[in-house]
Structure 1
Amino acid sequence: MATVVDAPRFEHHRDALGIGEPRPRLSWRVRSAPSGWRQTAYRIDIVRNGNIHSYEVESAEQILVPWPASPLRSREAATVRVAVRGTNGAWSAPSDPATVEVGLLAPADWVARPVGATWNEDPDSDERRPSIVRRDFEARAGLVRARLYATAHGLYEAEINGERVGDDTLSPGWTVYGERLRYYTYDVTGLVRPGQNAIGAWLGDGWYRGRLGWRGGFRNLYGYDLSFLGQLELTYADGTREVVATDPSWRAAPSPIIRTGIYDGEDHDAREEQPGWSRAGFDDSAWEVVSVRHRDPATLVAPTAPPVRRTQDVAPVAVLTSPSGRHILDFGQNLVGRVRIRATGEAGASVSLRTAEVLQDGELYTRPLREARSTDTYTLAGRPDGEEWEPRFTFHGFRYVEVSGWPGDLDAAAGDGSIVARVIHTDLERTGWFESSDPLLNRLHDNVVWGMRGNVVDIPTDCPQRDERVGWTGDIQVFGPTASYLFDVSGMLSGWLRDVAIEQLPDGTVPWYVPVIPAHQMWTPLRPGAAWGDVATLLPWTLYERFADLGVLDAQFDSARRWVDLVERLSGPSRRWDTGFQLGDWLDPAAPPEDPADARTDRYLVATAYFARSTRIVARMAEALGLAAETERYDALADEVAAAFAAAYVHDDGTMTSDAQTAYALALRFDLIPDENGRAAAATRLAELVRKAGNRIATGFVGTPLVTDALSDSGHTETAYDLLMERECPSWLYQVTMGATTVWERWDSLLPDGTVNPGTMTSFNHYALGAVADWMHRVVAGLAPAEPGYRRIRFAPRPGGGLTSAAARHLTPYGEAAISWRLDGRDLHVDAVVPVGAEAVLQLNGRDDETLPPGTHTRTTTLPR
């Protein structure tokens, strides 16, 4: 078998156009190789400016290896191939080429300035109508390359000669705008023609100046203006470059979008459209001269992840008529996106689309949306050949859409593609799959996937539907391992962690959510909180474990250390964090609907446990980075905190001061019980509590990701399965039996009688409680990393729960790893796949551990009775 190498990848980019790293690290996968083959060296061939440079390195590394050449310059492109040598001494053929192109790296590269309409910058005006901006330009013959570098104060979509630029949406996304405003690079060579051309952009409020926050929220939180910043660079065969940049020569006019907002939806009046406005020769003499605003070019940054895109269209599965006579489309799946329509009707007629996640008593139920209007309206222009529209600058979380004013037969429109839901989210690469012999468990896993898709709309959010949708740090802290299996989140989350570090206060406090809404003091003053603030330590470590990226540890180590140092000061000599406000085991199912922090587990027990865990992780981060003094310091501190925890919260017999599932799960998983007998007693008590509760869940956001592992790690795997497979409320499968298609915020967001939980926080799309999927991947199916980046894989399936089969596949940095098992009586049949460049340890009951080389392996063992 020949050794075949896939084209290299640059950093964590799926598309390496306009990246911000001048020395991008390289990774590659060896698709196939002879039996017993191992990489011993690699050769990187780089073509720059027509010259080939080769770099040969004696190394077995193939993940995020250093860029071997001099740094790339702004705008520079390079083509890279990789060849590898194995233990047989033979070199592979070079890989297919991959091209990388750098964006604008230095502030001096930018000449563009933000431009927009004057009426969009008045702080005393309630005028929210967005604008469109444009200008004509001329291109000479001999054009060989055209790049548009674009961003906005607000959201934008650019056009050249009437054609949409790119396929992204909701760009430039949400970052800490004052420090980091993301820009995107587009190859528009095919859109520019010799002679006269035109460029323009649509603008929308977005997160920059639109309404943000609950209890009514606030506008203009990052600025008053609505502005486009674009720099079109034209490169000719003779080497010259011309720049068409946003400047005072641009002109602005009112958009046919009457209003638009993230929470409230979009109103579009097609009668106000100006056909041809982004084409050459359009008469813009009646348009106003733009107002030019300021943006420090040093704050413009290239993306580290794919943009938000439309990734799927979903057709309605039913057209319902409510008791009040309203027409409601059921899309059969709770999803995140917006509705695209095609309609023919009279000018001035309006179609209204109101969305919600659930029905109650047959009617659209919008109370869980709180003050999010979540309605889109399209006023027809009356075109005889029909009209097509979808909102540009908003998104909704919904399964149901109430349609008013539809011009024609709604049943026919739902069946012929005239109305579809368009799913949008950050266009992450899918990397993980799971299935089992139980359809309900498979549906639960599907719900976790759909929930994640809906909550990675540029940032990792809590929920996608109500007047919130912010980057709650605790949610992604607990869900990070699951997210890292299901999708390649390496670039997205490492970029978001940069914003975490920026928003972190000088004393080390990590905000509850990032980016911080500037008017946060109205509801959530910035103060330290366990589990939420610990995202600064635990999420970077998760990314390192799953993607072998030392760079994220290096970038985030100071942030992580400052968080632990803060908690050390707060705890004082006692080493117990037992003061201040805490969310604790948020949304424990026993908590009252209006007091979700009132959990069965002492919130200060939770805080001290997380203090111990984060301190230990900072020590491991320091060790990985080669920081010996810091490793010793934080290991010693972690020992002190662990001892303080045990003294304060663990009785001599292994029971705990909070006799609750979350307390035991924390103590066991964070290794906070000092002796083996105590650990065994604690595990036994945890299993007793689960059985005593009828196998119904009794954990909130903190305990849920830990409780099944705490059981299976300590010999109570069947009890963990009992918890997972329970169908009565509260449980994971209760949600499935109630028709859930995403994971809920509350275990009982929908009550057994079919009514919606009365709590003001009742989302039907929250991923936090879906963190159990990580246990399903690692323990039920049996696929886990044993070394960072899956360089060594652990296959350790633990059948149970009445399952007769299960399987998992994961696209690791080295290639696809997979395991499937099936039971035939007591005989366990296992098939495992190890990618080239990795190895695996197979751990099966009744067999000694076995090391597996790359390839496909089949084993059978008889399980003990």
Structure 2
Amino acid sequence: MTAPSALRFEHHEEPFGIGEDRPRLSWQVRTDAPGWVQTAYELELGPDTTSLASYGRVDSAEQLLQPWPARPLASRERVAARVRVWGNDDGGPSDWSPVAWVEAGLLNAADWQASMIRPSWDEDSTSDEPASRLSTTFELDGAVASARLYASAHGIYVASINGRRVGQDLLAPGWTSYHHRLRYQTYDVADYLRPGTNVIGFEVADGWWRGNLGFQEKRNKYGYRTAVIGQLEITDAQGRLSVISTDGAWQAGRGPVLSADLYNGETYDARLADAGWAGHGSRSLEPVVAEDFNTALLVAPDGPPVRATEELPVQEVLTTPSGKTILDFGQNLVGHVRIRVRGEAGTEVVLRHAEVLEHGELGVRPLRVARQTDTYILRGTGVRGSGAVEQYSPEFTVHGFRYVEVSGWPGELDPEAFTAVVVHSELKRTGFFECSEPMLNQLHANVVWGMRGNFVDVPTDCPQRNERLGWTGDFQVFASTASFLYRIPGFTASWLKDLAAEQGTDGPPPLVVPEVTFDKPPFPTRPVMAAWGDAAVLVPWVLYQQTGDREFLRRQLPGMAAWLAAAADAAGPELRFEQGFQFGDWLDPAAPPNDPGAARTPWQLVAQAYLAYSASIASQAAALLGEDSESLRLRELSRQARTVFRKHYIADDGQLQPATQTSYALALRFGLLEPEEHPAAGERLAETVAADGYRIATGFVGTPLVTDALSDEGQVEAAYRLLLQTECPSWLYPVTMGATTIWERWDSMLPDGTINPGDMTSFNHYALGAVADWMHRTVAGLAPAGLASRKLLVRPLPGGGLTWAAARHETPYGEAAVRWEHGAGSFTLSLTVPAGCTASVYLPDGSEAVEVGSGTHSFNCEPEVFAGTAGTPQLSALP
């Protein structure tokens, strides 16, 4: 039985209101035929399932990103599609795939009739501001056939129709480089409408637009006033179109949200829940102001929205030494708390959020000035709904927390009245890992939770303090791990578009994307910062490897060239970095708490290595795009930077200077050594790790590379000893301390339960969790060996006393899975290869590779000693 499935359009999770008029199509194939490979496909498209038209058989083995065969989509157009395939089994065509639907959004600026409107009173914002409500009434005199709401805002908005919240999106329209790109959302709202009088409204709060942003206490980054734009298009049963748009006839009012800020939290007065809407007889409504706004800035989303994805109950109610009541949800997470409460009108319930306890009290010092506090004022007695249970969860903020301090609760506190709501971009989970060591399983879970908490519309560094910025370096080192765990191409495409828009075609990208400038040392406005600026090259390269989509490279190639030109200029005429400031191997555990850049590996060495490596990758990207002269120029830049690295950082006896874990990891993984130099360098790296007591001696730069650098050179046991170390600094030390996410510092919490004294301490930072990538590829043995994992490399390297390990990953072609076990001298491995893919399988007895096609396979061997052969190719070796 063979049938295509999972028909997708571009990289959309929900192809509804998309911005592409010719979306490429991809599909997976499910089949019982071993070794099956597609040889041809046929697409059918139509306005409905009864009017599908064929676009002919196409002889091709390609299943990913195939061209749109029909005329371009028009704005608002909805199309059904399905596919069938032929394979190398010489049979007839497969069954048709299930029908998938795609619908275009508003593709042209001229499609917008709406105006961007704001309240007339909304003046300069100097502190957390109340949310505004903007609304109007309209009449419907017949049945509704279809209805779409297109909306966006300067700020964070929630739409409602007839008192019902529209959709499930949170923090819409999300955070982009607003002056370059402002996302709009599309909602199907036919079920919200009714005959007669209808009320449509938007509640809009500060959000990223004008709220607190960054760690230098800035507000009003993008503007001083919140505003909203919305266009409701209704088609009746006779096909007549009505459009209700935001304009100067709308009205504005105040509602129950007295203040709202992403860092500080939300204050909600339920006694005002009905206030501020048109049609409620309120005398406090005022006119709105229509602003000048360029609708060409409005773009459809590339990735999924932010939504609530999970709910967690209270695990324990604690009483602190000072008598405070604290809820422990058992998991450090990002989101908010939903409460159910009954009490007198005006009662204030206050929720303070934090990630950790310090000596039994809420640990708020790492939050710096962020308050992370929500206040709910009960509607209660004397108001309509007297005595009823009231439910509240904030709309306009998110917090990073495990613990919540509750004060003002009326009556006896019931833990079942509280629910933690997990919030992040609704990415599809694609990667899983487990093994025989419970602590490694917890480490991996911590990596996953750290990613979930920081992939909130942009890839932030941390989710709790006054920062939460899209640091380029953090994402750069974690992108490969992220692309295994979740399907991130759409999410990342949006971020990369902002990076390109902020960077332009001259100079380095900003340190954070979207850009937030820094006024205080040591942060110049646009610094050349190795590993951080290299995100312009390496993140799109990871996405290309994961998807095979050259558009990631095409869109970013000008930025790659601009970054490398800026880095080369900073290196000077001899192409050697010497003076200035860079982050380097940030947060080396040897660095003092208040000097996180004081690493054992000099930043100049880091910058030199990255220049050579990124120029090599950019050269490959240019060659793939047919930019041959640019490819040759970048290759020469890489060669020169490599020569300088070798001259200044490799001694005559072949040792790195200085001989640190990071310097060896960079040299080995970035292709800076000759092939004949690798074995000795691997041995010296292992000796360095041993001299460090098999403890971590790397920061942001070295940590993602060191285990690969060891296992590539046969130093497998050294890699496992480093991975399994439990003494600080190590990956497992936080696990021994009860961590449920990855920490920013190796010792964010000291052994005595005291928070690290530095003023930069987060308990939810994903960057140091990049080791999970090695766990997937080398511990479990499931690695890509070709674009989009069409070819797999299955080469587990057992060690560390593990008796089994397993990983599975939904590749673009389907799920691949590996599981191995060993004991009593035997080793068994089971493998699933998706249809259309192949795998090279290396067993740990050192035997030759076995090449297999799609299907399920089993292997056995009896190695006396596991062969410590190389685990995965160098990063630059993939196409």
Scaled by the length of structure 2, the TM-score of the pair is 0.95
1:85-127 CA distances to partner (integer Å, 9 max, x unpaired)? 112141011111000000001110011112222222x127657
Residue 29 of structure 1 aligns to a residue whose secondary structure is strand
Query: 1:518 & 1:772 partners in 2: Cα distance?
Result: 30
Residue type of the partner of 1:341? I
Corresponding position of 1:361: 359
Query: 1:35 & 1:725 partners in 2: Cα distance?
Result: 38
1:11-41 CA distances to partner (integer Å, 9 max, x unpaired)? 1111111000111010000022423432111
Residues 51-62 of structure 1 correspond to what in structure 2 (within 5 A)? Answer: 51-55=51-55, 56-62=57-63
Question: More deviation in 464-473 or 49-58?
Answer: 49-58
Aligned partners of 1:159 and 1:278 also within 8 Å: no
Query: 1:247 & 1:522 partners in 2: Cα distance?
Result: 45
1:818-842 CA distances to partner (integer Å, 9 max, x unpaired)? 0000012221100000000111111
Residue 347 of structure 1 aligns to a residue whose secondary structure is coil
Corresponding position of 1:295: 293
Query: 1:293 & 1:508 partners in 2: Cα distance?
Result: 33
Corresponding position of 1:118: 120
1:718-741 CA distances to partner (integer Å, 9 max, x unpaired)? 100000000100000111001100
Q: Does 1:162 align with 2:163?
A: yes
Q: Does 1:332 align with 2:326?
A: no
Residue 617 of structure 1 aligns to a residue whose secondary structure is helix
Shift of 1:516: 1.0
Corresponding position of 1:373: 371
Aligned partners of 1:119 and 1:127 also within 8 Å: no
Query: 2:422 & 2:798 partners in 1: Cα distance?
Result: 35
Residue 111 of structure 1 aligns to a residue whose secondary structure is coil
Question: More deviation in 140-149 or 445-454?
Answer: 140-149
Pairing partner for 1:405 from 383, 405, 408: 408
Pair 192,521 (structure 1): closer, same or farther in 2 beyond 3 Å: farther
Query: 1:302 & 1:580 partners in 2: Cα distance?
Result: 41
Residue 574 of structure 1 aligns to a residue whose secondary structure is coil
Residues 499-518 of structure 1 correspond to what in structure 2 (within 5 A)? Answer: 499-504=498-503, 506-518=505-517
Aligned partners of 1:437 and 1:803 also within 8 Å: yes
Aligned partners of 1:341 and 1:419 also within 8 Å: yes
Residues 528-567 of structure 1 correspond to what in structure 2 (within 5 A)? Answer: 528-567=528-567
Shift of 1:692: 1.0
Shift of 1:247: 0.4
Query: 1:230 & 1:480 partners in 2: Cα distance?
Result: 35
Shift of 1:145: 0.9
Corresponding position of 1:221: 221
Residue type of the partner of 2:421? R
Question: More deviation in 751-760 or 678-687?
Answer: 678-687
Query: 1:36 & 1:737 partners in 2: Cα distance?
Result: 45
Residue type of the partner of 1:645? F
Q: Does 1:103 align with 2:105?
A: yes
Residue 687 of structure 2 aligns to a residue whose secondary structure is helix
Aligned partners of 1:162 and 1:278 also within 8 Å: no
Shift of 1:197: 1.0
Aligned partners of 2:128 and 2:211 also within 8 Å: no
Residue 121 of structure 2 aligns to a residue whose secondary structure is helix
1:715-769 CA distances to partner (integer Å, 9 max, x unpaired)? 1011000000001000001110011000000000011121110001110000000
Query: 1:124 & 1:488 partners in 2: Cα distance?
Result: 38
Q: Does 1:349 align with 2:347?
A: yes
Query: 1:124 & 1:45 partners in 2: Cα distance?
Result: 53
Aligned partners of 1:578 and 1:608 also within 8 Å: no
Query: 2:237 & 2:579 partners in 1: Cα distance?
Result: 68
Aligned partners of 2:798 and 2:844 also within 8 Å: no
The sequence identity of aligned pairs, in percent, is: 52
Aligned partners of 1:143 and 1:234 also within 8 Å: yes
Residues 265-284 of structure 1 correspond to what in structure 2 (within 5 A)? Answer: 265-274=265-274, 281-284=279-282
Aligned partners of 1:205 and 1:261 also within 8 Å: yes
Q: Does 1:395 align with 2:398?
A: yes
Shift of 1:674: 2.7
Residues 470-509 of structure 1 correspond to what in structure 2 (within 5 A)? Answer: 470-504=469-503, 506-509=505-508
How many residues align? The count is 855
1:185-237 CA distances to partner (integer Å, 9 max, x unpaired)? 0000111122221111111110001011214x111110111112110001233
Corresponding position of 1:648: 648
Query: 1:476 & 1:833 partners in 2: Cα distance?
Result: 30
Shift of 1:458: 0.6
Question: More deviation in 738-747 or 563-572?
Answer: 563-572
Question: More deviation in 750-759 or 44-53?
Answer: 44-53
Query: 1:22 & 1:284 partners in 2: Cα distance?
Result: 44
Residue 559 of structure 2 aligns to a residue whose secondary structure is helix
Corresponding position of 1:605: 605
Pair 93,648 (structure 1): closer, same or farther in 2 beyond 3 Å: same
Q: Does 1:316 align with 2:314?
A: yes
Residue type of the partner of 2:854? P
Shift of 1:652: 2.1
Shift of 1:507: 2.9
1:243-289 CA distances to partner (integer Å, 9 max, x unpaired)? 100001111111211101010000111112217x768x432454111
Corresponding position of 2:818: 819
Residue 536 of structure 2 aligns to a residue whose secondary structure is helix
Residue 344 of structure 2 aligns to a residue whose secondary structure is coil
Shift of 1:384: 0.6
Aligned partners of 2:689 and 2:695 also within 8 Å: yes
Query: 1:408 & 1:54 partners in 2: Cα distance?
Result: 67
Structure 2 unmatched runs, 5+ = 381-385, 866-879
Shift of 1:65: 1.0
Corresponding position of 1:19: 18
1:401-427 CA distances to partner (integer Å, 9 max, x unpaired)? 0000111221xx21x3x1011000000
Query: 1:233 & 1:512 partners in 2: Cα distance?
Result: 41
Shift of 1:635: 1.9
Corresponding position of 1:838: 837
Shift of 1:168: 0.7
Scaled by the length of structure 1, the TM-score of the pair is 0.97
Structure 1 unmatched runs, 5+ = none
Query: 2:425 & 2:490 partners in 1: Cα distance?
Result: 11
Corresponding position of 2:868: none
Query: 1:700 & 1:553 partners in 2: Cα distance?
Result: 28
Residue 406 of structure 2 aligns to a residue whose secondary structure is strand
1:476-497 CA distances to partner (integer Å, 9 max, x unpaired)? 0000000000000110011100
Corresponding position of 1:254: 254
Residue 498 of structure 1 aligns to a residue whose secondary structure is helix
Q: Does 1:718 align with 2:720?
A: no
Residue type of the partner of 1:527? P
Residue type of the partner of 1:104? L
Corresponding position of 1:197: 198
Residue 185 of structure 1 aligns to a residue whose secondary structure is strand
Residue type of the partner of 1:372? A
Aligned partners of 2:35 and 2:855 also within 8 Å: no
Aligned partners of 2:253 and 2:277 also within 8 Å: no
Aligned partners of 1:718 and 1:801 also within 8 Å: yes
Pair 523,286 (structure 1): closer, same or farther in 2 beyond 3 Å: farther
Instruction: Give the ranges of 4+ consecutive aligned residues of structure 1 lying more than 6 Å apart after TM superposition.
Output: none
Query: 2:497 & 2:733 partners in 1: Cα distance?
Result: 38
Query: 2:36 & 2:750 partners in 1: Cα distance?
Result: 57
Aligned partners of 2:505 and 2:559 also within 8 Å: no
Corresponding position of 1:264: 264
Shift of 1:628: 2.4
Corresponding position of 2:468: 469
Query: 2:176 & 2:125 partners in 1: Cα distance?
Result: 25
Aligned partners of 2:32 and 2:855 also within 8 Å: no
1:421-467 CA distances to partner (integer Å, 9 max, x unpaired)? 10000000000000000000000000000000000011000000000
Corresponding position of 2:870: none
Question: More deviation in 465-474 or 545-554?
Answer: 545-554
Aligned partners of 1:729 and 1:747 also within 8 Å: yes
Residue type of the partner of 2:285? W
Residue type of the partner of 1:71? P
Corresponding position of 2:87: 86
